[in-house]
Structure 1
Amino acid sequence: MRDPGHVAVGTWSGGRFMHFGEQLDEDRLAGLIRPGGGIDTVITADTYGQGDADRLVARALEGVPRDELCAVGAIGHDFYDGERDGARGFPRFTDPRLRGPDDYAGYLRTAAERSLRRCRLERFDLLLLHNPDRTGYTSEKVWDGMSALREAGLTRMIGVAPGPANGFTLDLIDCLDRFGERIDWAMVILNPLEPWPGELVLGAAAERDVRVLTRVVDYGGLFWGDLPPGHEFPRGDHRGFRPAGWTERGHERIELMKPIADRHGLTPLQLACQWNLAHPAVACCAPTLIQESGTGARAIEDKRAELAATPAEVLLSDEEV
């Protein structure tokens, strides 16, 4: 059993369960998320592929000793009893149309046990409350239920993983104020080109000894270096929803950062990870590994190796950050 390492791979990588770049086949994605080669932490969520991502994790973990990996899960979207609402996905388990507060703990227990069975694990190292609504952030019944999973041995640690909406900041700070003594980890979006609003919650996390996982460290793939300015994204790629001109502006700003990266022998992606790790409470970076298309696209396995080579020790000075 391990705590999350300073770098991690999530099952949203590889375009199979979340639409970023080309879709990898199962064999290739399983190899990508398999612990080893400098990355021992894998993150999944039960709602990805309605359990299929969990099953892929089981395949990826075959033969890996349990004490050589860290398994992070996430539950909260009810795809068992809820109906998918288009791009909004499945409802949260706290939706009053599905159940009342007295049934929250029972749902969480069932969801955790099913996810573990699919992953072929006895317990998670960390289990996150995935993309909660207002009830999830504030309900004592919810956090009693999450705490009960830890007490039952289904997970060593518990945490919260807000969705991407900018409004999560106050909700997360409020959640930490209410339940910070119970919460071990939180997950937020953070990178040098998207410091806001993730930076705003780090002080509250540090005050409560809550460690932070950071995602989207790659800024939609731009820090990997093979996404050209003005790239046209295929229909359905999540990055198509970003504002017009973001790749052009991002490239300009990354060019200004390269002297700092060069000074420390870092790639732009490694610099982004180092920048995150230099912040209070941040202990893990989980960028999205993306197989881009077209001329100049790098093999996604090379990107994994680059992530694995990121130094765990922060090399940047306060001025450089």
Structure 2
Amino acid sequence: MNLTDIAYGTWSGGKFMHFGKPLEDERFRSVIRHAYNSGIRTFITADVYGVGRADQFLGEALEGIDRSTYCLVGTIGHDFYTGQRVGNRGYPRFTDPELRSPREYADYVKMATEKSLERCKAEKFDLLMLHNPDERGYTRTEVWEAMVKAKDAGLTDRLGIAPGPANGFTLDIVKCFEDYHEAIDWAMLILNPNEPWPGNLALPAAEKFGIDVLTRVADYGGIFWGDVKPGHEFKAGDHRTYRPEGWVEHGYAKLEKMMPIAEKHGLTPIQMATIWNLSHPAVKSVVPTFIDEAGEAKRYEDKINELAATPRDLRFSEEEVAEITRIGDNTGCMDLKGASKRHETSTRPDEWPMRDDLVDIADRYNLGQSW
């Protein structure tokens, strides 16, 4: 089963990511089941979330449901089996040369995929994605040969790449599309009406190479759910407190300017954000983050119902897409991850020096030189 237009990710619920109120174990399982019963048919997990616990919860929540009735997406890449967590940098990528050589990539991918599937109580993924790759993940042929071997072994029907968790990687992902598009079926990108840049820069290349796009963070930190408004107090430790001061007020002001288009079509803010994403030709699936906010807020289950009720046959006109993009324009608002002229050496797994072949990519795709 291929991905459906609306998806549910196990990073939701605040259990493995620091936002909102973390759901208790039983409710975490029950909301996944509720998502299925509400009509959502694509479920995404990552083996590193809770070092396998997210996989396990998802498998338990969907146990007993006909496997042919939902799409299962797995993501691998962080080696928590042999690697050691390094503070907020997390676990090293399996491609770290201190962990293994390129000739050992295939064995790791097979092992990690099989263990993730076992926790998910499934025999194969419908889509297996390379999760938060370092520079080697974008550039090494051995990485994609390892992914293809997993597909050939029947562990997945499709392959993809999921950059992140921070924004950027545009030049890297476009070059990866050029080099490995024959292996890549899907890519996961950050995209929403308040954050069109830089994700929208990679969409033409995805369309050119026949790669479908799954967009995440469609809710923009909760703004498009409608219960994060000016003056909202985030609980201590919530990762959204690290955003620039005033981001809620600024984002909410943009939302208010977009609402006439939403109201014209009878849409709520999150439904508008979802339709805006899906109105881009390359975008085929949208996965917002479900958050049980502290204080007075919508119930988690009601948010699932609201997303599931998004009109499936509605798409915005080119003029409406352009107007929402104009209102939400965030060009140049942040330092981007991946290749950058800021670095002469690679000191982090998500930042590395600019290369001549990426400058060429920027020129050929008219992406500018402000990288």
2: CA distance, partners of 1:187 / 1:40: 17
Q: Quickly say closer, same or farther: Cα 1:86–1:294, change in 2 above 3 A.
A: same
1: CA distance, partners of 2:204 / 2:61: 35
Please give the secondary structure, in 1, of the residue aligned with 2:319.
Answer: coil
Please give the secondary structure, in 1, of the residue aligned with 2:74.
Answer: strand
TM-aligned CA deviation for residue 111 of structure 1:
0.2
Which residue of the partner structure matches residue 55 of structure 1? Answer: 56
Which residue of the partner structure matches residue 196 of structure 1? Answer: 197
2: CA distance, partners of 1:156 / 1:266: 34
Q: Does residue 322 of structure 2 align to residue 318 of structure 1?
A: no
- Equivalent residue runs for 1:171-250 within 5 Å: 171-250=172-251
Please give the secondary structure, in 2, of the residue aligned with 1:44.
Answer: strand
Contact 1:190 1:198 in 2 (8 A): yes
Which runs of 5 or more residues in structure 1 are unaligned?
none
The count of residues paired between Structure 1 and Structure 2 equals 319
- Equivalent residue runs for 1:259-270 within 5 Å: 259-270=260-271
Please give the secondary structure, in 2, of the residue aligned with 1:319.
Answer: helix
1: CA distance, partners of 2:315 / 2:105: 44
Which residue of the partner structure matches residue 307 of structure 2? Answer: 307
Query: CA-to-partner distance for each residue in 1:76-97, whole Å, 9 max, x for gaps?
Result: 0000000001111100000011
Query: CA-to-partner distance for each residue in 1:91-133, whole Å, 9 max, x for gaps?
Result: 0000011001000111000000000001110000001000000
Query: CA-to-partner distance for each residue in 1:239-285, whole Å, 9 max, x for gaps?
Result: 11111101001111101111111110110100000000011210001
1: CA distance, partners of 2:237 / 2:295: 17
Query: CA-to-partner distance for each residue in 1:162-195, whole Å, 9 max, x for gaps?
Result: 0133341111011101101110000000000000
For 1:217, the aligned partner's letter is: A
Contact 1:10 1:33 in 2 (8 A): no
Please give the secondary structure, in 2, of the residue aligned with 1:156.
Answer: coil
Contact 2:234 2:294 in 1 (8 A): no
Which segments of structure 1 move beyond 4 Å, counting only runs of 4 or more?
A: none
Please give the secondary structure, in 1, of the residue aligned with 2:65.
Answer: coil
1: CA distance, partners of 2:171 / 2:25: 38
Which residue of the partner structure matches residue 7 of structure 1? Answer: 6
Please give the secondary structure, in 2, of the residue aligned with 1:121.
Answer: coil
TM-aligned CA deviation for residue 32 of structure 1:
1.7
For 1:280, the aligned partner's letter is: P
Which residue of the partner structure matches residue 285 of structure 1? Answer: 286
Contact 1:264 1:315 in 2 (8 A): no
Q: Does residue 23 of structure 2 align to residue 24 of structure 1?
A: yes
Question: Structure 1 vs Structure 2: percent identity of aligned residues?
Answer: 57
For 1:23, the aligned partner's letter is: P
Which residue of the partner structure matches residue 102 of structure 1? Answer: 103
Which residue of the partner structure matches residue 135 of structure 1? Answer: 136
Q: Does residue 20 of structure 2 align to residue 46 of structure 1?
A: no
TM-aligned CA deviation for residue 230 of structure 1:
2.8
For 1:41, the aligned partner's letter is: T
Which residue of the partner structure matches residue 148 of structure 1? Answer: 149
Which residue of the partner structure matches residue 360 of structure 2? Answer: none
Which residue of the partner structure matches residue 78 of structure 1? Answer: 79
2: CA distance, partners of 1:286 / 1:216: 7
TM-aligned CA deviation for residue 40 of structure 1:
0.8
1: CA distance, partners of 2:17 / 2:82: 22
For 2:103, the aligned partner's letter is: D
- Cα root mean square deviation, aligned: 0.9
Contact 2:277 2:286 in 1 (8 A): yes
TM-score of the superposition, structure 2-length normalised? 0.85
Contact 2:63 2:121 in 1 (8 A): no
Which runs of 5 or more residues in structure 2 are unaligned?
322-371
Contact 1:230 1:245 in 2 (8 A): no
For 2:307, the aligned partner's letter is: L
Contact 1:277 1:314 in 2 (8 A): no
Contact 1:158 1:185 in 2 (8 A): yes
Please give the secondary structure, in 2, of the residue aligned with 1:228.
Answer: coil
TM-aligned CA deviation for residue 311 of structure 1:
1.8
Please give the secondary structure, in 2, of the residue aligned with 1:220.
Answer: coil
Please give the secondary structure, in 1, of the residue aligned with 2:160.
Answer: strand
TM-score of the superposition, structure 1-length normalised? 0.98
Contact 2:235 2:294 in 1 (8 A): no
Please give the secondary structure, in 1, of the residue aligned with 2:68.
Answer: helix
2: CA distance, partners of 1:198 / 1:117: 33
TM-aligned CA deviation for residue 37 of structure 1:
1.5
2: CA distance, partners of 1:99 / 1:314: 48
